[in-house]
Structure 1
Amino acid sequence: MALTKLSRNALRVAGILAFVAIILVATLVLRVQDHIGDILDWIEAHKVAGSLSFVGFYALFTVLPVPAAVMSLAAGTIFKLTLGSLLVWTGAVLGEIGCFIVGRLILRDWVASLAKKYDIWQAVEAAVEEEGWKMVVLLRLSPVIPFALLNYMLSLTAISFFDYTWASALGIIPGVLAYVYIGSLANDVGEILSGRTGVSPAVTIVSAVLSGIFIIAAFVIITLYAKRAVSRRLEQERLRNGDLEADADLVAREDGVTERLIQQPLHQA
């Protein structure tokens, strides 16, 4: 049994090293992020094969992770709103699934040891365990954790693979539509790569206001869910330990978690 456990640990360490090596090679040696423009040019010139390649690249960039925001915008320019949204959504869902599998099978212990150091994550973890798919949807709508990191962190929670997949797929729809729509206003991929999207000031203002209201509302609900979940978890700990003096600590820890959640910067997927 000891040998089996040792073998599993060795395989897990090997998996972590291999994953880190792949990221380093892709980002530092091959510098995939510097070739996104060339990739998009090829996809634009080969629409049929490019559509399938786009999904694959998007999923790959999500797993590595390489920032995929430019890909989302470019999808609107190349494929327009309907097809572009479908391709981005498909690639993002496949990428999220890949992150979940890698996180749960390979990186679980390593990432969990890092996550335990942060009260913000312990609050989110408790809320996901308590609320399940509802919390996943809210985190996707208004993430308090960056999108790429959130994919891996959710793999450490008690959420099932099925609930994670469909809730994530549902929660990213507004963000996908927003990015692809903005990209569809650009004349060509060059504008996207240069940071010019052709969005009028009026559209920018309306989008910013609506997004702000939407994100703040979701963020408030997330905070309430997290605070309630942490409260229940700490109360269970107090009852198990039979420690009446834990009441004061319970209140202090709840307030600390709430304060950290409020102070966290919002990150757009």
Structure 2
Amino acid sequence: MKETTAPETPQKSGMLRHMPLVAILIAAIVGYFTLGEYLSFDTLREQRGTLLAFRDANYLGLVLSFIAIYFIIVAFSLPGAAVASVTGGFLFGLGLGTAFNVIAASLGAFAIFFAARWGLGRSLAAKMDSSDGTFKKIKTGLHENEISVLFLMRLIPVVPFFVANLLPALVGVKFRNFAFTTLLGIIPGAIVFTWIGVGLGEVFDRGESPDLSLLWEPQVIGPILGLCALAALPIVIKALRGKKEF
């Protein structure tokens, strides 16, 4: 008699859906304690000559390797994203460096989004839809102002990048809006970090490390806060008109 296999139980299927997000969280924790000293400016200083020689000998290979490594750093929330962004400017200049940084960081953000949406996000969004309390109001308000809120999460420097990737997936925002606001919203910060990297060689020659506090200089943070105000404007207008509750 032909044996038949039992169908996969809903419980087992649900557990499998959570595995990508669990893998990301485990990698983030392990990476925090083990990779910090390697993904650093000291390592970049030591490997400076090797990287420049490889760039001159195999430019396309270095571009693909850089995007792949940066993608892994972001997708698994490993330490070193700021170092990677600065490295993009150091190796490729302001224009191409910013483009490669944005591409790699966006792809990593998409990976986290889908990992969270496929597992925990699906069940959490369903629970929020079926509830009648505060969570349902929050989700409704978010969806009514989705683009503005997502832009704010990208532009406000104090919002961790991992949080800005994870929360939208958990509350069920549309991926096209998430992708659009990610690609555009991270450009200002990417330009700043890439710009720091452009002058990194001179900084190393002086025996110093790059000053990432440049992001908080008035001439830099001012325009970013201006973009934040612009992104928040539709929410403010709706609130003043009293037509929407958020």
Compute the TM-score of the two structures, normalised by the length of structure 2.
Answer: 0.70
Aligned 1:96-245 pairs, distance under 5 A: 96-108=109-121, 126-142=140-156, 145-187=159-201, 190=204, 195-196=209-210, 208-220=217-229, 222=232, 225=235, 228=239
Aligned 1:227-266 pairs, distance under 5 A: 228=239
**Take 2:108 and 2:171, find their aligned partners in 1: how far apart are those partners?**
18
Q: Percent identity, please.
A: 23
Contact conserved, 1:58 with 1:71, CA < 8 A, in 2? yes
2:73 is the counterpart of 1:61: yes
Secondary structure, in 3 states, of the residue corresponding to 1:35?
coil
Q: What do the CA deviations read for 1:124-162 (whole angstroms, capped 9, x no partner)?
A: 755531122233223212255212211111112332112
- Residue 58 of structure 1: CA displacement? 1.0
Residue 108 and residue 198 in structure 1: after superposition, are their counterparts in 2 closer, same or farther (change >3 A)?
A: closer
Structure 1, unmatched stretches of 5+, are 113-120, 236-253, 255-269
Contact conserved, 1:129 with 1:157, CA < 8 A, in 2? no
User: Which of 74, 85, 94 is residue 72 of structure 1 equivalent to?
Assistant: 85
2:59 is the counterpart of 1:46: no
In structure 1, the residue matched to 2:106 is: 93
Q: Bigger CA drift: 64-73 or 210-219?
A: 210-219
Q: What do the CA deviations read for 1:175-215 (whole angstroms, capped 9, x no partner)?
A: 1111111221221684799533599xxxx59x822333234
Q: What do the CA deviations read for 1:104-130 (whole angstroms, capped 9, x no partner)?
A: 113427988xxxxxxxx9997555311
**Take 1:62 and 1:216, find their aligned partners in 2: how far apart are those partners?**
24
Residue 13 and residue 80 in structure 1: after superposition, are their counterparts in 2 closer, same or farther (change >3 A)?
A: closer
Residue 15 and residue 70 in structure 1: after superposition, are their counterparts in 2 closer, same or farther (change >3 A)?
A: closer
**Take 1:166 and 1:43, find their aligned partners in 2: how far apart are those partners?**
32
**Take 2:116 and 2:91, find their aligned partners in 1: how far apart are those partners?**
32
- Residue 89 of structure 1: CA displacement? 1.0
Contact conserved, 1:62 with 1:95, CA < 8 A, in 2? yes
Contact conserved, 2:116 with 2:166, CA < 8 A, in 1? yes
Residue 51 and residue 149 in structure 1: after superposition, are their counterparts in 2 closer, same or farther (change >3 A)?
A: same
Contact conserved, 1:70 with 1:193, CA < 8 A, in 2? no
Structure 2, unmatched stretches of 5+, are 1-6, 126-134
**Take 1:21 and 1:138, find their aligned partners in 2: how far apart are those partners?**
28
Residue 80 and residue 3 in structure 1: after superposition, are their counterparts in 2 closer, same or farther (change >3 A)?
A: closer
Counterpart residue type for residue 73 of structure 2: F
Residue 34 and residue 125 in structure 1: after superposition, are their counterparts in 2 closer, same or farther (change >3 A)?
A: farther
Q: What do the CA deviations read for 1:216-236 (whole angstroms, capped 9, x no partner)?
A: 33444539728949x877x6x
**Take 2:206 and 2:27, find their aligned partners in 1: how far apart are those partners?**
28
Counterpart residue type for residue 212 of structure 1: I
User: Which of 11, 15, 21 is residue 10 of structure 1 equivalent to?
Assistant: 15
Secondary structure, in 3 states, of the residue corresponding to 2:36?
helix
Q: Bigger CA drift: 4-13 or 103-112?
A: 103-112
Compute the TM-score of the two structures, normalised by the length of structure 1.
Answer: 0.65
Secondary structure, in 3 states, of the residue corresponding to 1:134?
helix
In structure 1, the residue matched to 2:130 is: none
